[in-house]
Structure 1
């Protein structure tokens, strides 16, 4: 099963984590399944940017972002060339990913998911 290394995030995942997720599952769902409480204010409907992640390794193995995702990413805090919405990026076959959850989101109030 493909592996995802989550780099440490002071609040969400202080120690970092190594998790697994099946091919085709969204990065967001894999994080949530592993108990990493990434924000997802729109309930994974590609309508916000709270699940924004930086794909530090394995970015090229991900499928292309949709036009809608690209438009939303333009509004994400800390946008970088390797940014993706974790609710839209699907885990690729046999490729390890390294992701970083940005320090901030544009969400003014955390829903406590």
Structure 2
């Protein structure tokens, strides 16, 4: 089972986290299952950018980026070349290291 390492985040994971996740599970589901309260305003349907993560290690092992996800990522705060929507990125057989951005843009709240 692949391991996900979450880098420290001041609010969501102050000490960081390391846990196993089943293949084909979304990164968002894996985070939520492991008590990391990742925002996901659209209910994980890829219609917002609140669950944006930066995949520091293992980016190339994830499922392909879809057109809708690419469009939504354009709205994400702190977009990086290895950014993904955690609700759309599926765990493969490889370990991942993810960084949770400091902020999110939730257009429903703002």
Q: Which residue of 2 aligns with 1:41?
A: 41
Q: Matched residues in 1 for 2:57 and 2:96: separation?
A: 5
TM-score in terms of structure 2 length? 0.96
Deviations 1:34-77 (A, max 9, x none): 01100000110110000000000000111111000000001100
Contiguous gaps of at least 5 residues in structure 1: none
Q: Which residue of 1 aligns with 2:69?
A: 69
TM-score in terms of structure 1 length? 0.93
- Structure 1 residue 107, shift from structure 2 partner: 1.7
Q: Matched residues in 2 for 1:42 and 1:19: separation?
A: 25
TM-align CA RMSD: 1.2
The SS at the match of 1:29 is: helix
Moved over 6 A (4+): none
Q: Matched residues in 2 for 1:19 and 1:103: separation?
A: 21
Q: Which residue of 1 aligns with 2:78?
A: 78
- Structure 1 residue 80, shift from structure 2 partner: 0.5
Give the length in aligned residue pairs.
Answer: 109
Q: Matched residues in 1 for 2:29 and 2:71: separation?
A: 22
Q: Matched residues in 2 for 1:107 and 1:67: separation?
A: 20
Q: Which residue of 2 aligns with 1:104?
A: 103
- Structure 1 residue 17, shift from structure 2 partner: 0.2
Contiguous gaps of at least 5 residues in structure 2: none
